[in-house]
Amino acid sequence: MDEYLETDECADTDEWLEMDVDDEGMSSCCLGNMVLIINTRGAVGTAKGAYPARFGLYGEIRTREFAFHFNPTGEIRYMRGLTRSWPHPWEWLKRSWGNDWIYYSVGLDRGQGRVKDWVGEDYLPCLSYESNAIREATPYTEPGVSTAFSAWSQVYANICCASLVGLPLDIQRFLGDVIRSNDDNALIAQARELHGIIGGRVSVLPPDTRHSDYEVIPVNIADGCLYKCRFCTVKSRAKFAPKTKEAIADQIEALKAFYGPNLQNLNAIFVGDHDALAAGGDLVAYAAEAAYTAFGFSRPQGGSPSLYLFGSCASFSKADDATFAALSALPYKVYINLGLESADDATLNQLGKPITSAMVKETLLKMVDINARYASIEVTANFLLGTTFSQDHHTAIMKLLSSLPKEAGNKGCVYLSPLVETQRREEVLPMFHEIKRHSVLSAYVYLIQRL
């Protein structure tokens, strides 16, 4: 755990004390019992570790009990406790660009295995959506966590009432941004602005966005979904319709203005909406290249950029070698996530999924082939998990995943998504572990996150 930056002056007086300034511009001072730190440089890109790394440039306010991190434009981004009442020093609260708070946990209940075994990361985003009901996770009710929100409200009120006269100008600018950006109405308005630019809220991100800690800029190149599956509660019911290149260009310029200085902390895009691959490789490549230029992804401090998109059984099967060659030539690591759902015909019919088990098998084999042939493309697939399904559904998934060639396990993975209607949730994780044991491909739980 980081040590609290305390001095006698900070603890006992309302006067600020200016501290050191390093070669990269980081500076700090005290205001009452708060330590203010600006221009802190975190990890390059979205480096992975045993906890979600703080990356890019950020500002920070610390009290004896909590640390609060802020975007370059002043919006609160992370909160963490600094005392023993906080559950774990590697656990954080994070606010998304959609204005949701998410708790990052590093622990599980006994008998459930390591976090990394079933989500692919060393930490578990505790999301509040019903479809993530694979385990009971209620960190928000723990005293140390719940008090973080009231502590932040008090810090914000103190800053708003404090005199900034005499503070260094860069600290004054930082506090001015914090005051202006963190009024509840301002945060709500910011999220609405983002959703207005892209044509609505992103109801679900691809599970592969975990590689970028879900920190993606959404660029919507098509509305709707090819399929209207009965089980799905997160996708649009609108008719599938690609956008024009002109509309996409206007959207990217609006996103550039929206994120502004925060672009230096971002290096990934989600090309949406629910089946961007169906819009064609040409349109995906156009949006990706335009975003790469507009968002400054060529900068070295941003790390290697990533591109995420959804595909369907139909759009992936239709995509030819020219499409994958064009995607492979992009200056991104490209992740394509496919919704296959089941390998059992009766279950597919029950779900209202207009595909067959033979098509699912063919798609999965093509996925293995594409992963082997293109170094910069990784294709993954989703299957459903839950107690409302027949044993035939789970048996068919295990049979298919175990029949893949051994080299398939070198790249890509499958995600198992808990169905909202699932009952007896204590039975779901053992089901997952059984499928995982049979799968040649790595297998993880799909945690639904919106934006």
What is the distance between the alpha carbons of residues 206 and 382, in angstroms, rounded to a whole number? 10
> What pLDDT, on a 0 to 100 scale, did the predictor assign at position 17?
31
Query: Is residue 14 assigned to a domain?
Result: yes
- Write the single-letter amino acid at 7: T
Domain assignment of residue 93, given as a range: 8-182
Query: Is residue 70 assigned to a domain?
Result: yes
> What pLDDT, on a 0 to 100 scale, did the predictor assign at position 88?
86
Count of structural domains within the chain: 2
* Residues 346, 317 within the same domain: yes
Query: Is residue 190 assigned to a domain?
Result: no
User: pLDDT digits over 124-156, tens only?
Assistant: 888 766 555 565 666 777 788 889 999 999 999
Helix (H) or strand (E) holding 144: helix 143-161
End-to-end Cα, the chain, rounded Å: 30
Query: Is residue 267 assigned to a domain?
Result: yes
* Residues 33, 110 within the same domain: yes
> What pLDDT, on a 0 to 100 scale, did the predictor assign at position 316?
97
> What pLDDT, on a 0 to 100 scale, did the predictor assign at position 49?
59
* Residues 306, 236 within the same domain: yes
Residue 291's contacts (CB-CB under 8 Å, 6 or more residues apart) are 217, 219, 252, 255, 269, 297
Q: Of 117, 150, 182, which residue constitutes the final position of a domain?
A: 182
Helix (H) or strand (E) holding 442: strand 442-445
Query: Is residue 189 assigned to a domain?
Result: no
Query: 81: closest CA among 422, 90, 73?
Result: 90
> What pLDDT, on a 0 to 100 scale, did the predictor assign at position 116?
83
* Residues 207, 308 within the same domain: yes
- From residue 446, give the alpha-carbon distance in Å to each of 42, 43, 131, 302, 351: 28, 26, 9, 27, 18
Ordered mean pLDDT values, 10 residues apiece, the chain (451 residues): 34 33 68 90 59 74 96 95 90 93 76 77 75 62 87 96 92 96 95 96 93 94 68 59 95 98 94 92 97 91 86 95 96 97 94 93 97 98 90 96 94 88 71 93 90 90
What is the distance between the alpha carbons of residues 425 and 427, in angstroms, rounded to a whole number? 5
CB count in 10 Å sphere of residue 193 = 12
> What pLDDT, on a 0 to 100 scale, did the predictor assign at position 14?
32
